[in-house]
Chains A and B, each alone.
Chain A
Amino acid sequence: MGVALLYDIQSLLERYLTKLVRNPTLLATNLVTPLLFLFLFSQLLTKFSAFPGVSGNYLDYLTPGIVVLNAMISAPQGGVSIANDLNSGFLSKLILTQVSRPAILLGRLLTDVFVVVAQSAITIVVGIGLGVTIATGIPGILLMLVTVAFFELALSGIFLVIGIKTRKTETISAISGVLFFPLIFVSSAVFPTSFFPSWAQVVSRYNPVSYASNVTRELVQGGLTWSSLLSAYAVIGLIAVATFATTLYQFRKVVS
């Protein structure tokens, strides 16, 4: 059973990666977007270097935030893919095979994790090239990648539910815009929160994006505490449990 499940996941992972490689525009966009953000923000907002909490180098502050942004950009992909497979009838075809049902979701999610980890690794390498120093070294980089992968998984559940329920990719893009812009901007991902008005500082403190960004940032700047690590994983874990329980419920209704 376990071997069959792995074979299913591997087969579907290969399917999605092949599709990605055959779509050069999507592949290029995936690679360029984080770097574009890194360059844009670091050029436009260089004066933030002087802000409290930034500790003198805005690029050090920004790079771990962009890593978290990668997760948010990729999160809707799983939902889009499942909506497309539902509409084209491909999902019915999958269901009629002996494929294990969880593998259909897992294959897709692992693809997105793979993409996010690759994007983030590139972001970190380019950041280092631009002068970012990672205080916690290689183990810190690995923990950053694990954190961003986990965050991506938790968020993608939201879009899997929308994809299965509405089968409309337009709805997914619309919701990701409405949801993610405020989440990104009213968080510590890109901006130092010390210049926010007080209400925004409060919102930002409880924003899951801030929890994730604080972990990646403390790994870059040094001084990661158990409390920020555990609280971030608890918040991400809660989102994951809520979204995947809903996803599985919706998915069962479709594939039963």
Chain B
Amino acid sequence: MNNHASDIISVENLVEVYSDATKALDGISFKVRQGEFFGFLGPNGAGKSTAIKVLTTLLKKTSGQVSVAGYDLDKSPKEIRKVIGVLSQETSLDVDLTGRENLRLQGRLQQLHDPVLKDRVDELLKLVQLEEVAKKPAGRYSGGMRKRLDLASALIHKPKLLFLDEPTTGLDTQSRAAIWDYLQKLNKEEGITVFLTTQYLEEADRLCRELSIIDHGKLISSGSPAQLKAALGGETITLTLKEGADALLKSKTKEILKTIQGVSNVIDSDGDIVAYAKNAGQIMVDVVTSLDRNGIRPAFLSISSPTLDDVFLRQTGRRIRSEELGRKETEPFLM
């Protein structure tokens, strides 16, 4: 791989093995260009948080080459910390301090002094719309407000590169939209490079211009959301058989679908069968007649535009969505 001057993150063959021999990252490589809005999409336990911890100097890597903002991760962790901002998965504020005091403390520890610090705090409180509650202890904030304050404190020293570990997990729709809004603003107007991890398909699709999909510590697909979806070769046809359909019927159905011209891929998805086809609308008649000829009457049949979930399904045979609903594990951010 070539190193471009415009790459703000460069990762080659990164491996992270925990002390209990769990391989959290299994040789991943990727690059992030300066000014990019880059995302890691994957289910819980895929290795997203581990990747962020390594890139932000909180966790020592087992092997591989990593450079962040032009600095080697092993040689210059201090320099890296100066230019990155980090929003961890668990909101980490001092709940006894007010919103303003939290930001001031963070700023002082980044060696900012008044009056520059005061102006920066005012500016950030305005950005995340917490001016009115700035004098209240953060312990009395709602989840969304805490997240916004945490985001502001990650920005206090004007980082070039912002890392966000599942920034909207556990937030309500409104707070999520607000966070999305700030992130887009920061990226577009201030040119901050954003590296975000998420398990939410919609979030990855809407925000990220570049995306890597990660599963079991490996990158399984990379590209822009549009490219990734286009690679599936058309629209998604989802077919549900009647209840009680056996494996034989299922495989017969799949065989029939594969014979239809235009269908590029046929995959099992939980109980459903998913096929991808160009101009799915036009071949729908062929699908129905072919199945009918063989005496198969599906319980449900639909056409939709492919989502990133389809990209994940194609690569892994599983869906992210079903794992989204699973219980959320929390682990302390630090080791």
Residues of chain A contacted by B145 (CB below 8 angstroms): none
A1-53: which have CB < 8 Å to B?
A: 4, 7-8, 11-12, 14-15, 18-19, 22-23
Known: A4-B111, A19-B97, A93-B92. A98 touches B334 (CB 8 A): no
Interface flag for A202 (CB, 8 Å)? no
Can you list, as one digit per residue, whether each of B50-88 has a CB less than 8 Å from chain A (1) or not (0)?
Answer: 000000111010000000000000000010011010101
CA distance A8 to B90 in the complex (A): 24
Q: Closest approach, in angstroms, between the C-beta of A108 and any C-beta of chain B?
A: 13
Chain B minimum-CB-distance residue to A255: B334
Query: Main secondary structure on chain A at its contact with chain B?
Result: helix
Interface flag for B127 (CB, 8 Å)? no
Interface size class of B (residues with CB under 8 A): 20 to 34
Can you list, as one digit per residue, whether each of B293-335 has a CB less than 8 Å from chain A (1) or not (0)?
Answer: 0000000000000000000000000000000000000001111
Contact B334 A89 (CB under 8 A): yes
Residues of chain A contacted by B113 (CB below 8 angstroms): 7
Contact B334 A254 (CB under 8 A): yes
CA distance A22 to B111 in the complex (A): 25
Contact A92 B58 (CB under 8 A): yes
Interface flag for A90 (CB, 8 Å)? yes
Contact A11 B108 (CB under 8 A): yes
Residues of chain A contacted by B93 (CB below 8 angstroms): 90
Residues of chain B contacted by A18 (CB below 8 angstroms): 96-97, 101
CA distance A87 to B137 in the complex (A): 20
Contact B332 A89 (CB under 8 A): yes
Interface flag for A256 (CB, 8 Å)? yes
Q: Closest approach, in angstroms, between the C-beta of B233 and any C-beta of chain A?
A: 43
CA distance A52 to B90 in the complex (A): 60
Interface flag for B186 (CB, 8 Å)? no
Interface flag for B106 (CB, 8 Å)? yes
Residues of chain B contacted by A19 (CB below 8 angstroms): 94, 96-97
Chain A minimum-CB-distance residue to B153: A93
CA distance A88 to B81 in the complex (A): 20
CA distance A14 to B157 in the complex (A): 20
Residues of chain B contacted by A89 (CB below 8 angstroms): 88, 90-92, 332-334
Q: Closest approach, in angstroms, between the C-beta of B106 and any C-beta of chain A?
A: 7
CA distance A95 to B58 in the complex (A): 8
Interface flag for A94 (CB, 8 Å)? yes
Can you list, as one digit per residue, whether each of B26-67 has a CB less than 8 Å from chain A (1) or not (0)?
Answer: 000000000000000000000000000000111010000000
Interface flag for A138 (CB, 8 Å)? no
Chain B minimum-CB-distance residue to A96: B86
Interface flag for A198 (CB, 8 Å)? no
Contact A7 B137 (CB under 8 A): no
* Tally of chain A residues near chain B (CB < 8 A): 27
Can you list, as one digit per residue, whether each of A223-256 has a CB less than 8 Å from chain B (1) or not (0)?
Answer: 0000000000000000000000000000000101
Chain A minimum-CB-distance residue to B84: A96
Interface flag for B21 (CB, 8 Å)? no
CA distance A90 to B138 in the complex (A): 13
Contact A15 B94 (CB under 8 A): yes
Interface flag for B285 (CB, 8 Å)? no
A82-109: which have CB < 8 Å to B?
A: 86-99
Interface flag for B116 (CB, 8 Å)? no
Residues of chain A contacted by B333 (CB below 8 angstroms): 89, 92
Known: A89-B334, A92-B88. A22 touches B109 (CB 8 A): no
A151-167: which have CB < 8 Å to B?
A: none
CB contact between B60 and one of A7, A23, A94, A256 (< 8 Å): that residue: A256
CB contact between B332 and one of A23, A86, A93, A98 (< 8 Å): that residue: A86
Chain A minimum-CB-distance residue to B86: A96
Chain A minimum-CB-distance residue to B93: A90
Can you list, as one digit per residue, whether each of B206-228 has a CB less than 8 Å from chain A (1) or not (0)?
Answer: 00000000000000000000000
CB contact between B92 and one of A7, A22, A92, A99 (< 8 Å): that residue: A92
CB contact between A88 and one of B58, B90, B108 (< 8 Å): that residue: B90
22 A-B pairs within 8 Å (CB atoms) are namely: A7-B113, A8-B109, A11-B109, A15-B105, A18-B96, A18-B97, A87-B332, A88-B90, A88-B92, A89-B88, A89-B90, A89-B92, A90-B93, A90-B94, A92-B333, A93-B86, A93-B106, A96-B86, A97-B110, A97-B157, A98-B78, A256-B60
B-side interface residues toward A, CB under 8 Å? 56-58, 60, 78, 81-82, 84, 86, 88, 90-94, 96-97, 101, 105-106, 108-111, 113, 137, 153, 157, 332-335
Q: 9 other contacts beyond A11-B109, A96-B86, with CB at 8 A cut-off?
A: A14-B105, A15-B105, A18-B101, A86-B334, A90-B92, A92-B58, A92-B92, A96-B57, A97-B109
Counting from the closest, the 5 A-B pairs by CB-CB distance are: A89-B92, A97-B109, A11-B108, A92-B334, A99-B109
